[in-house]
A and B are shown apart, each in its own frame.
Chain A
Amino acid sequence: MAHPPGRSTPEPFVWLMFSAGGVVAALVLPVLLVLFGLAIPLGWVDAPSHAHLLAVLRNPLTKLALIGICGLALVHAAHRLRFTVEHGLQLRRHDGIIAAVCYGGALVGTAAAAYFLLATIRV
């Protein structure tokens, strides 16, 4: 996109969040997904006890890290899905609404992560 000089856009910031989210998703999500999606349900590994997970989630560092991970990974996915839908299905003329749905969804997910971690898991 071409912009007149001197006018700033949020694009660089969104791309920064996009790549940070991509790194986080690549580093952190595979092991958690394999554990909770396959290894534990299929009985390869014993499920952690509720008390253990609660203790891990009560740690403020875990809370902070998880909110960051969820938020960044969701912004990454939102940014990528926006362009995938627009280019893959040729819906560029609807950029406004597609972008709103994608980033809005990421915002809702991040807020949900913050709510579950800060309000429902008490220290």
Chain B
Amino acid sequence: MTSHLEARYHRQRVPLLWWARRRSYAMFMLRELSSAFVALFVVELLFLIRAVGRGPAAYEGYLDALAHPAMIVVNVVAVAFVLLHAVTFANLTPRAMVVKVRGRRVPSRAVLAGVYFGWLVVTAVLAWLVVG
């Protein structure tokens, strides 16, 4: 029998790994976790900037560190998560904002095409800036 006190403070227990129970919940969790890899890559970028500032030897040393097999594995996982972030965030755009031209709503497919086109342009410019 439950006492009054227990009944009053009873709360539905949620299992710790509630998000592992369903595919859609697990996808939600993976998408949220992508932000950890966004942060990780920003840290890698900070180390790159620091190495460039320290001179050619430090820069070469950092390139060697990035070529270490363990770093490659980490970065393969990071690429997967950062792309997951990019795709899920881009696909939100038509829902997050309504684009109107001459009072008419632009269909979400067109908005999405614009987003991906912009993404391609930014990617091309940055690639040219870095290795061009």
Contacts and interface: CB of A to CB of B under 8 A. Distances in A.
A37 interface: yes
Contact of B39 (A19, A50, A77, A90): A77
B80 to A, nearest CB: 10
B38 A76 contact: yes
B49 A117 contact: yes
A123 to B, nearest CB: 12
A81 B39 contact: yes
B79 A76 contact: no
A37 B46 contact: no
Contacts of B79: 30, 33-34, 37-38
Secondary structure type dominating chain A contacts: helix
- Interface size of A as a range: 35 or more
A33 B39 contact: no
Interface in A29-87: 29-38, 40-42, 45-48, 50, 53-54, 56-57, 66, 70, 73-74, 76-78, 80-81, 83-84
Given A27-B118, A28-B122, A22 B89 contact: yes
B82 A30 contact: yes
- Interface size of B as a range: 35 or more
A42 B45 CA distance: 18
A1 interface: no
Contacts of B38: 25, 29, 73, 76-77
Contacts of A70: 42, 45-46
A87 B79 CA distance: 25
Given A37-B75, A40-B66, A41-B66, A74 B42 contact: yes
Given A54-B52, A84-B29, 12 more contacts: A19-B96, A33-B82, A35-B130, A41-B63, A47-B63, A66-B49, A76-B35, A77-B39, A84-B33, A109-B39, A116-B53, A117-B53
